[in-house]
């Protein structure tokens, strides 16, 4: 039966090959599709690439061919990462006009559809183009992104090699990274490729650091445009007469097309768009006269959309947006349903049409505003399909195809060629129109598409005129959007279009989200460690940049269903945000469920504090534990916040940094010598600080066999050095809070904690006599009345310069009873015994000439860390101006004890204890000393401590003698050093041989599917616990060799795609896997059972 089915399938294929006209869907329709087997892109190929930094990925070729996969299948994917989820089969730019160059025919068209009228290369002079055989400089497409050295390029490599992310090799990733570097170096600015000109000389001269990384603008020239995260550039021409004639029968015009494509790595709507700037220059053929012109010229964005499955599509247009789009005719799509998604919508918009004069207008050309012109909008929209009255223009060299296109460009039906017949709206009395299906499918209003099928759509803009030497430009965007169903996807698409049009109209002068974190992952037994805190430079770029008021606020961690999935397709696992007043951030956003723009929470922080690692043990998409050998996708984003009132956009989230991971045990022979979460012992080998260093093992796979030291400077900064290698791993670090906000290096998070720069403690001698207290004024100790100088009005002392002090208080000898109540009240003059206290200099405030005199205060201050103790200077801020130091006291107006002397109800007398040896006149400007408040108005001065003292209960002020010692913290200083050591993982041959007993293949038996398979075309089983080099031979029980697979890489896994050497599916049955491991001189044999699923033809 199986052989008979195979025979029928083969016969059906022969029948299709025997009827190429039917396969081509009539006249000028789609050419026969190639076999579904995916073609590999050869290493070093530069004439084809992808724009794929955002959620939309699309192929582009040096000859202008676009959105078509190298094997001929659909080549614009959305969401990125799902090759089966393609939205566009192919697209291109078509032009046409009346060419007045003395040659016939005058009406000509060209560009790119299923046939290509362009070839690679610029036009050097009329009729002379660059040599298309020059692969390095002409038949080439250039692609750059500024983060190519640090970005995770696994998905990029997967798409370029038309394979899955899990199957990508390190060599393929390295090749992609090298191609980015080559294209950066070779960027063809001399041909017209855009770049940021740091030197302003018009010449592209890239510069590189010693490590090969490029120096970025504005320090050096940088390729790019519009602040895009990825830019692709090519140049093509229509001078190949055969190519143009074969397309639709026209002669060449002599047009050069420079195409710049750019995209953004963002999580907002800009991430769902690819922008295309077509710059067309009329350079002429060899016979073009200098007076040549092109009248009634049009540009047209043509596309063959295949939104998933091709046979169930509708199209529509929105004249207010200059938008043409495709959407699904039914609620589910055969392809998108396989990846668990509702049908999206995709479309094209003329963001800037051709330039025409308009004295009152303003246009955009070259991403600059130009007055006296305007951009034409979409002037017609049409579609056609095979089997309908209006189908594709005739290709293959028939000039009727040109005339049919000429009609379409001007808003008429393609046939008859002459006289042209208009389109008519069947819902409006067959009124003549240039816009087909402009109704609203969401509301069910107006003329909308019917009779679903495979569509071609076109958006045209014109007419305009070109003279020889003129340059015209059109900017088109291709976009895609995903709602909760087929119709809400249209609403999301239009929201995306409006968002992007606003960005374009503002020349992309938009705030940027934080730089995506540089994310790495380590795979453990049933667990995954995500780490985005290893690179201090990159962390600073993410967290330290403020752009147009948007400052870093936190990180989000997600699990995604595929590497290219959007964030709303995944599950948020965690948020780590700054500890501040910002938690939940709401803003206007598109609600996919209702189809409305609503104020919704978009970020939900909980003041958790910043963390840069996260351990995952559970698959939240399936609510199961992680399974070894299965592929998972995780992502981390950074988001920012702008609290300016009135903003509609308050937060921006970066595009996700995505990792593809496979939980696993250690590789054969490898043993970790540390355990994740363990604390290594650290020694305080010098210094007297109260600090501590706690090295925590974050990633035992990356620890080193090394000794380390932590040292400090006088500014409170610390550094971590690998003493074994001599490398400083972390420098100028400031965090000593002991929280989780520390960078990770060499598998360790070194938590450096020091006592805070605050008063540590106090001790009272003769406390029963104490008549002062703190009064809750905010000081660190002594009931809020004692502050380290840095914490009051500031101090210019280094953190290590604060000292333990003793304040000796004295009893008064007498006082003046101003209010006659027979007791001392605060504010009344007092007298001290001879020799008691010390001189203090009085100041009224922080200003020049604020010195008011001197007084003897009832205390002395000593630095008790010196031997003998050192007496210190005192300055008093005498705010009540009564010429003496007083305790703090507020009297009510009617208080009978109020001392009404120089505003006696406002007695704030602050004490400044200075780090200068006691000299009564040092701070007396009237006796040759310095004016303390004037000299140290900005830096605070050498203030050791500040005291703000109150009366203790009802105890009489200055009623007895006592002393208080105030204890300063022993902060980490340059005298302090901490050391510790770590162990590296080990690996040896004997252990590796012992681990070979773990070699396995799964799933076994294979029962029709593998949960790790992404679609029905991607069948495989996985061998695990393999050494670096192995050869696996698959045999039937009869001893017939089915497949030989050679492994030579670091992974312990290897997939067999269940195919034989000829690429045909292996039949159901029992197989023997013979594993040969030459490095260990070992052989192992496994049995494998395969039960293939029953096959059904989807189309016949």
Mean pLDDT to the nearest integer, 440-452 = 95
What is the residue whose two structure tokens read 């534990």? Answer: 625
State how far the Cα of 523 lies from the Cα of 287, in Å rounded to an integer: 66
CA 242 to chain centre: 45
Q: Hey, what are 1062's tokens?
A: 């000829």
Q: Are 658 and 520 in contact (CB under 8 A)?
A: no
Mean pLDDT to the nearest integer, 851-876 = 97
The pLDDT of residue 14 is above 60: no
State how far the Cα of 283 lies from the Cα of 125, in Å rounded to an integer: 7
Region of 102 on the Ramachandran plot (φ > 0 left; ψ -120 to 50 alpha; else beta) = left
Kindly report the CATH number that applies to the domain delimited by 520-664: 2.60.40
Mean pLDDT to the nearest integer, 917-928 = 96
Query: What pLDDT, on the 0 to 100 scale, is given for residue 976?
Result: 95
State how far the Cα of 1078 lies from the Cα of 655, in Å rounded to an integer: 44
State how far the Cα of 494 lies from the Cα of 590, in Å rounded to an integer: 10
What lies within 8 Å, CB to CB, of 1 at 6+ separation is none
State how far the Cα of 561 lies from the Cα of 86, in Å rounded to an integer: 17
Q: Hey, what are 969's tokens?
A: 């913290």
First to last CA, the chain: 19
Which one, of 294, 291, 292, 286, lies nearest residue 124 by Cα? Answer: 286
Mean pLDDT to the nearest integer, 644-669 = 91
State how far the Cα of 1071 lies from the Cα of 1041, in Å rounded to an integer: 10
User: 64-80 pLDDT, tens per residue?
Assistant: 999 999 999 999 999 98
585 phi and psi angles, rounded to 5 deg: -115, 120
Query: What pLDDT, on the 0 to 100 scale, is given for residue 15?
Result: 33
3-state secondary structure 604-621: ECCCCCCCCEEEECEECC
CB burial readout 691-703, b (16+ within 10 A) else e = bbbbbbbbbbbbb
Domain ranges of the chain: 33-38+86-141+229-505, 520-664, 677-754, 761-967, 987-1091
Which one, of 320, 301, 326, 303, lies nearest residue 493 by Cα? Answer: 326
User: 587-627 pLDDT, tens per residue?
Assistant: 988 787 676 778 899 999 999 999 999 999 999 999 999 99
Which one, of 324, 351, 308, lies nearest residue 456 by Cα? Answer: 324
Kindly report the CATH number that applies to the domain delimited by 987-1091: 2.60.40.3080
Q: Hey, what are 47's tokens?
A: 């004439």
Which one, of 322, 974, 985, 319, lies nearest residue 671 by Cα? Answer: 985
Query: What pLDDT, on the 0 to 100 scale, is given for residue 36?
Result: 37
Query: What pLDDT, on the 0 to 100 scale, is given for residue 1094?
Result: 67
Q: How many CB atoms lie within 10 A of CB 170?
A: 12
Q: Are 800 and 974 in contact (CB under 8 A)?
A: yes
The pLDDT of residue 128 is above 80: yes
Going by their DSSP bridges, the two strands 909-917 and 870-878 should be labelled as: antiparallel
Kindly report the CATH number that applies to the domain delimited by 33-38+86-141+229-505: 2.70.98
What are 1036's strand-pairing partners? 1071
pTM over 0.75: no
Q: Which residue has the higher pLDDT, 5 or 859?
A: 859
User: For the chain, how are helix, strand and coil distributed in percent, rounded to 5?
Assistant: 10, 40, 50
Helix, strand, or coil (residue 790): helix
Query: What pLDDT, on the 0 to 100 scale, is given for residue 1014?
Result: 65
User: What integer best gives the mean pLDDT of the chain?
Assistant: 91
Mean pLDDT to the nearest integer, 667-680 = 94
The full DSSP string for 694-707 is EEEES-TTS--SEE
Query: What pLDDT, on the 0 to 100 scale, is given for residue 7?
Result: 31
294 phi and psi angles, rounded to 5 deg: -120, 115
State how far the Cα of 250 lies from the Cα of 245, in Å rounded to an integer: 5
Q: Hey, what are 972's tokens?
A: 């980490």
Mean pLDDT to the nearest integer, 293-315 = 96
User: 705-715 pLDDT, tens per residue?
Assistant: 999 999 999 88
The pLDDT of residue 842 is above 70: yes
State how far the Cα of 650 lies from the Cα of 586, in Å rounded to an integer: 8
Q: Hey, what are 930's tokens?
A: 């310095």
What lies within 8 Å, CB to CB, of 681 at 6+ separation is 980
Q: Would the CATH topology of 33-38+86-141+229-505 be identical to that of 520-664?
A: no
Mean pLDDT is lowest, of 793-797, 862-866, 892-896, 903-907, for 903-907
User: 575-591 pLDDT, tens per residue?
Assistant: 999 999 999 999 988 78
Q: Are 835 and 856 in contact (CB under 8 A)?
A: no
Q: Are 345 and 480 in contact (CB under 8 A)?
A: yes
Q: Hey, what are 1068's tokens?
A: 């159901």
Torsion of CA 349, 352, 354, 358, to 10 degrees: 130
State how far the Cα of 964 lies from the Cα of 945, in Å rounded to an integer: 13
């Amino acid at each position: 039966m199986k052989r008979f089915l195979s025979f029928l399938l083969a016969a059906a294929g022969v029948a299709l090959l025997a009827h190429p006209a039917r396969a081509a869907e009539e006249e000028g329709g789609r050419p026969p599709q190639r076999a579904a087997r995916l073609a590999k892109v050869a290493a070093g190929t530069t004439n084809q690439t992808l724009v794929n930094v955002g959620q939309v990925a699309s192929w582009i070729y040096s000859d202008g061919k676009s959105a078509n996969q190298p094997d001929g299948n659909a080549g614009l994917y959305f969401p990125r990462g799902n090759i089966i989820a393609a939205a566009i089969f192919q697209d291109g730019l078509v032009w046409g006009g009346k060419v007045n160059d003395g040659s016939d025919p005058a009406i000509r068209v060209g560009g790119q559809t299923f046939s290509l009228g362009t070839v690679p290369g610029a036009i050097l002079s009329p009729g002379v183009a660059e040599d298309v055989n020059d692969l390095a400089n002409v038949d080439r497409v250039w692609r750059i992104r500024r983060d190519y050295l640090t970005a995770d390029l696994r998905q990029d490599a997967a798409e370029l090699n038309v394979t899955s992310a899990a199957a990508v090799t390190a060599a393929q990733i390295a090749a992609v990274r090298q191609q980015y570097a080559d294209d950066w170096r070779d960027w063809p600015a001399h041909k017209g490729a855009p770049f940021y000109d740091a030197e302003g000389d018009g010449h592209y001269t890239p510069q590189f650091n010693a490590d090969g990384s490029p120096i970025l603008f504005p320090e050096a020239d940088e390729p790019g445009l519009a602040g895009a995260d990825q830019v692709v550039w090519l140049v093509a021409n229509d001078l190949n007469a055969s190519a143009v004639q074969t397309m639709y029968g026209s002669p060449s015009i002599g047009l050069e097309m420079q195409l710049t494509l750019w995209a953004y790595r963002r999580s907002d709507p800009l991430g769902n768009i690819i922008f295309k700037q077509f710059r067309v220059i009329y350079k002429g053929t060899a016979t073009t006269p200098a007076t040549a012109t092109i009248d009634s010229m049009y540009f047209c964005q043509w596309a063959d959309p295949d939104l998933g499955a091709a046979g169930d599509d509708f199209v529509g247009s929105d004249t207010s947006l200059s938008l043409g789009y495709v959407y699904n005719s039914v609620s589910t799509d055969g392809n998108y349903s396989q990846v668990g998604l509702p049908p999206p919508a995709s479309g094209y918009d003329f963001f800037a049409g051709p330039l025409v004069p308009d004295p009152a207008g303003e246009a955009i050309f070259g991403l600059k505003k130009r007055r006296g012109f305007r951009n034409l909008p979409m002037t017609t929209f049409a579609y056609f399909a095979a089997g309908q009255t209006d189908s594709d223009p005739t290709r293959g060299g028939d000039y009727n195809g040109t005339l049919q296109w000429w009609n379409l460009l001007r808003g008429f039906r393609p046939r008859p060629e002459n006289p042209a017949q208009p389109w008519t709206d069947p819902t409006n009395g067959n009124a003549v129109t240039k816009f087909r299906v402009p109704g609203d499918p969401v509301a069910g209003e107006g003329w909308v598409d019917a009779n679903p099928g495979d569509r071609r759509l076109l958006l045209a803009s014109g007419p305009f005129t070109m003279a020889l030497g003129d340059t015209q430009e059109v900017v088109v965007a291709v976009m895609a959007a995903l709602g909760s169903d087929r119709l809400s996807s249209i609403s999301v698409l239009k929201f995306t279009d409006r968002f992007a049009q606003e960005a374009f109209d503002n020349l992309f002068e938009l705030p940027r989200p934080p730089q995506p974190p540089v994310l790495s992952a380590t795979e453990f037994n049933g667990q995954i460690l995500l780490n985005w805190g290893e690179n201090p430079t990159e962390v600073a770029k993410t967290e330290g940049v403020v752009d147009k008021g948007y400052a870093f606020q936190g990180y989000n961690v997600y699990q995604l269903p595929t590497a290219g999935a959007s964030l709303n397709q995944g599950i948020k696992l965690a948020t780590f945000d700054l500890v501040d007043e910002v938690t939940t951030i709401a803003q206007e956003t598109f609600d996919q469920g209702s189809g409305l723009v609503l104020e919704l929470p978009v970020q939900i922080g909980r003041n958790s504090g910043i963390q840069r690692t996260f351990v995952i043990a559970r698959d939240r998409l399936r609510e199961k534990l992680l399974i070894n050998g299965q592929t998972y996708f995780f992502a981390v984003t950074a988001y920012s916040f702008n609290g300016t009132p009135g903003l509609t956009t308050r937060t921006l989230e970066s595009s996700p940094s995505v990792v593809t991971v496979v939980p696993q045990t250690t590789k054969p022979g490898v043993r970790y010598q540390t355990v994740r979460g363990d604390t290594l012992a650290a020694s305080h080998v010098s210094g007297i600080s109260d600090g501590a260093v706690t090295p925590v093992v974050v990633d035992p796979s990356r620890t080193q066999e090394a000794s380390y030291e932590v040292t400090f400077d006088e500014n409170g900064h610390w550094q971590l050095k690998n003493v074994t290698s001599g490398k400083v791993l972390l420098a100028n670090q400031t965090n000593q809070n002991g929280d989780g906000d520390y960078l990770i290096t060499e598998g360790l998070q070194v938590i450096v904690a020091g006592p805070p720069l605050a008063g540590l403690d106090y001790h009272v001698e003769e406390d029963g006599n104490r008549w002062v207290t703190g009064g809750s004024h905010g000081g660190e100790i002594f009931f809020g009345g004692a502050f380290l100088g840095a914490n009051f009005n500031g101090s210019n002392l280094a953190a290590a310069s604060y000292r333990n002090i003793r304040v000796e208080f004295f009893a008064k000898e007498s006082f003046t009873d101003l209010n006659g109540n027979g007791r001392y009240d605060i504010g009344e003059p007092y007298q001290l015994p001879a020799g008691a206290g010390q001189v203090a200099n009085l100041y009224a405030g922080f200003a020049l000439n604020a010195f008011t005199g001197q007084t003897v205060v009832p205390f002395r201050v000593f630095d008790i860390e010196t031997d003998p103790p050192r007496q210190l200077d005192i300055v008093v801020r005498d705010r009540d101006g009564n010429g003496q130091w007083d305790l703090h006291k507020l009297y009510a107006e009617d208080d009978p004890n109020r001392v009404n002397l120089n505003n006696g109800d406002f007695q704030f007398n602050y004490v400044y204890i200075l780090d200068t040896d006691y000299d009564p006149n040092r701070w007396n400007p009237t006796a040759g000393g310095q004016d303390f408040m004037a000299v140290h108005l900005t830096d605070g001065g050498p203030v050791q401590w500040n005291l703000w003292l109150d009366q203790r209960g009802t105890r009489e002020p200055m009623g007895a003698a006592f002393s208080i010692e105030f204890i300063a913290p022993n902060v980490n200083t340059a005298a302090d050093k901490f050391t510790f050591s770590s162990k590296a993982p080990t690996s040896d041959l004997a252990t590796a041989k012992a681990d070979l007993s773990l070699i396995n293949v799964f799933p076994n038996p294979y029962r029709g599917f593998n949960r790790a398979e992404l679609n029905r075309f991607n069948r495989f089983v996985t061998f695990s616990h393999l050494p670096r080099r192995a050869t696996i031979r698959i045999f039937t029980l009869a001893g017939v060799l089915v497949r030989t697979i050679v492994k030579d890489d670091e992974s312990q896994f290897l997939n067999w795609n269940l195919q034989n050497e000829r690429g045909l599916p292996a039949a159901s049955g029992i197989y023997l896997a013979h594993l040969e491991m030459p490095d260990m001189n070992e052989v192992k044999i496994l049995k494998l059972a395969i039960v293939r699923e029953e096959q059904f033809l989807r189309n016949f």
